[in-house]
């Protein structure tokens, strides 16, 4: 029997807040963590995370409901000091 897919919602605050309305189905919390790390890496790699160099943290938080509400599984924050 396979793993039951869970819908995870990935929200980003990078100077402006972007709330996930549709979510992503993944097999585990570990996959959601990998996805969040990849999102942060992509933001930084694409030059979209310039605010962190001015002291504004980049934050990705993952919930079980859309639009930033519901239970928060974890928050990944990146900042420079």
Q: Cα–Cα distance between 47 and 39 in angstroms, integer?
A: 12
Q: Which residues fall within 8 angstroms of residue 53, CB to CB, at 6 or more apart?
A: 80
Spans of all domains in the chain = 6-78
Q: What is the pLDDT of residue 72?
A: 98
Q: What is the pLDDT of residue 54?
A: 83
For 80, list phi and psi in degrees, rounded to 5: -120, 135
Of 30-34, 43-47, 72-76, the least confident = 43-47
């Amino acid at each position: 029997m396979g793993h039951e897919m869970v819908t995870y919602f990935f929200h980003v605050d990078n100077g402006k807040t972007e709330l996930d309305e549709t979510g992503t189905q993944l097999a585990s919390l570990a996959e959601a963590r990998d996805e969040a790390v990849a999102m942060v890496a992509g933001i930084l790699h694409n030059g979209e995370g310039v605010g962190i160099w001015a002291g504004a943290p980049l934050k990705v938080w993952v919930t079980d409901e859309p639009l930033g509400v519901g239970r928060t599984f974890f928050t990944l924050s990146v900042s420079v000091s």
